[in-house]
Amino acid sequence: MELVANIYRLTRDFPHEEQFGLSSQIRRAAVSIPSNIAEGAARNSTKEYMQFLYVSLGSISEIETQILIAEKLGFLKAENSLLEEISDIRKMLTGLISYVSKKQIQRKN
Protein backbone atom coordinates (compact mmCIF):
# COMPACT_ATOMS: atom_id res chain seq x y z
CA MET A 1 0.00 0.00 0.00
CA GLU A 2 3.01 2.26 0.49
CA LEU A 3 3.75 1.90 -3.24
CA VAL A 4 0.20 3.09 -4.01
CA ALA A 5 0.72 6.21 -1.90
CA ASN A 6 4.10 6.86 -3.57
CA ILE A 7 2.58 6.43 -7.03
CA TYR A 8 -0.24 8.86 -6.23
CA ARG A 9 2.23 11.46 -4.96
CA LEU A 10 4.45 11.00 -7.99
CA THR A 11 1.71 11.16 -10.61
CA ARG A 12 0.16 14.26 -9.02
CA ASP A 13 2.72 16.33 -10.95
CA PHE A 14 2.06 14.73 -14.34
CA PRO A 15 0.74 17.10 -17.03
CA HIS A 16 -3.00 17.78 -16.71
CA GLU A 17 -3.69 16.13 -20.07
CA GLU A 18 -2.33 12.88 -18.62
CA GLN A 19 -4.91 12.82 -15.82
CA PHE A 20 -6.96 10.24 -17.73
CA GLY A 21 -4.03 8.72 -19.56
CA LEU A 22 -0.77 7.40 -18.21
CA SER A 23 -1.33 8.80 -14.72
CA SER A 24 -4.64 6.99 -14.37
CA GLN A 25 -3.18 3.79 -15.80
CA ILE A 26 -0.27 3.76 -13.35
CA ARG A 27 -2.57 4.47 -10.41
CA ARG A 28 -5.00 1.70 -11.36
CA ALA A 29 -2.17 -0.80 -11.70
CA ALA A 30 -0.77 0.25 -8.31
CA VAL A 31 -4.14 -0.10 -6.56
CA SER A 32 -4.59 -3.47 -8.26
CA ILE A 33 -1.65 -5.02 -6.41
CA PRO A 34 -2.85 -4.92 -2.78
CA SER A 35 -6.46 -5.26 -3.91
CA ASN A 36 -5.81 -8.53 -5.73
CA ILE A 37 -3.73 -9.89 -2.87
CA ALA A 38 -6.57 -9.13 -0.45
CA GLU A 39 -9.26 -10.54 -2.74
CA GLY A 40 -7.25 -13.69 -3.42
CA ALA A 41 -6.61 -14.24 0.28
CA ALA A 42 -10.35 -14.08 0.91
CA ARG A 43 -11.11 -16.80 -1.62
CA ASN A 44 -11.86 -20.37 -0.64
CA SER A 45 -9.09 -22.06 -2.55
CA THR A 46 -5.34 -21.86 -2.89
CA LYS A 47 -5.71 -22.11 -6.66
CA GLU A 48 -7.78 -18.91 -6.73
CA TYR A 49 -5.37 -17.20 -4.35
CA MET A 50 -2.48 -18.07 -6.66
CA GLN A 51 -4.39 -16.66 -9.62
CA PHE A 52 -4.84 -13.32 -7.84
CA LEU A 53 -1.17 -13.28 -6.80
CA TYR A 54 -0.16 -13.72 -10.44
CA VAL A 55 -2.45 -10.83 -11.42
CA SER A 56 -0.65 -8.71 -8.81
CA LEU A 57 2.68 -9.78 -10.26
CA GLY A 58 1.48 -8.68 -13.70
CA SER A 59 0.43 -5.33 -12.27
CA ILE A 60 3.86 -4.68 -10.76
CA SER A 61 5.44 -5.34 -14.16
CA GLU A 62 2.89 -3.03 -15.75
CA ILE A 63 3.82 -0.24 -13.31
CA GLU A 64 7.51 -0.69 -14.01
CA THR A 65 6.92 -0.34 -17.75
CA GLN A 66 4.68 2.69 -17.29
CA ILE A 67 7.21 4.42 -15.02
CA LEU A 68 9.88 3.90 -17.67
CA ILE A 69 7.53 5.34 -20.30
CA ALA A 70 6.80 8.35 -18.06
CA GLU A 71 10.54 8.93 -17.69
CA LYS A 72 11.06 8.78 -21.47
CA LEU A 73 8.21 11.28 -21.96
CA GLY A 74 9.82 13.63 -19.44
CA PHE A 75 7.03 13.37 -16.86
CA LEU A 76 9.46 12.00 -14.28
CA LYS A 77 13.14 12.27 -13.54
CA ALA A 78 15.02 9.00 -13.10
CA GLU A 79 13.13 7.35 -10.26
CA ASN A 80 15.69 4.83 -9.06
CA SER A 81 14.19 4.61 -5.58
CA LEU A 82 10.77 3.86 -7.06
CA LEU A 83 12.23 1.25 -9.40
CA GLU A 84 14.00 -0.32 -6.40
CA GLU A 85 10.71 -0.37 -4.49
CA ILE A 86 9.04 -2.03 -7.48
CA SER A 87 11.84 -4.61 -7.61
CA ASP A 88 11.48 -5.30 -3.89
CA ILE A 89 7.73 -5.79 -4.21
CA ARG A 90 8.24 -8.12 -7.16
CA LYS A 91 10.63 -10.19 -5.02
CA MET A 92 8.11 -10.28 -2.17
CA LEU A 93 5.33 -11.37 -4.51
CA THR A 94 7.41 -14.10 -6.12
CA GLY A 95 8.42 -15.26 -2.65
CA LEU A 96 4.78 -15.36 -1.54
CA ILE A 97 3.81 -17.24 -4.71
CA SER A 98 6.58 -19.75 -4.08
CA TYR A 99 5.55 -20.18 -0.43
CA VAL A 100 1.85 -20.66 -1.24
CA SER A 101 2.72 -23.04 -4.08
CA LYS A 102 4.95 -25.19 -1.84
CA LYS A 103 2.31 -25.17 0.87
CA GLN A 104 -0.27 -26.36 -1.65
CA ILE A 105 2.02 -29.20 -2.79
CA GLN A 106 2.62 -30.25 0.82
CA ARG A 107 -1.13 -30.45 1.44
CA LYS A 108 -1.53 -32.81 -1.52
CA ASN A 109 1.15 -35.18 -0.23
pLDDT (0 to 100) of residue 41: 94
Structure pTM?
Answer: 0.88
Instruction: Return the pLDDT at 69.
Output: 94
As a three-state string, the secondary structure of the chain is: CHHHHHHHHHHCCCCHHHCCCHHHHHHHHHHHHHHHHHHHHCCCCHHHHHHHHHHHHHHHHHHHHHHHHHHHCCCCCCCHHHHHHHHHHHHHHHHHHHHHHHHHHHHHC
Ordered by where they begin, the domains of the chain are: 2-108 (1.20.1440.60)
* pLDDT tens by residue, the chain, 109 residues: 999 999 999 999 899 988 889 999 999 999 999 999 999 999 989 999 999 999 999 999 999 999 999 999 999 887 778 999 999 999 999 999 999 998 877 777 5
Q: pLDDT value at position 109?
A: 58
Please report the pLDDT score of residue 100 as a whole number: 93
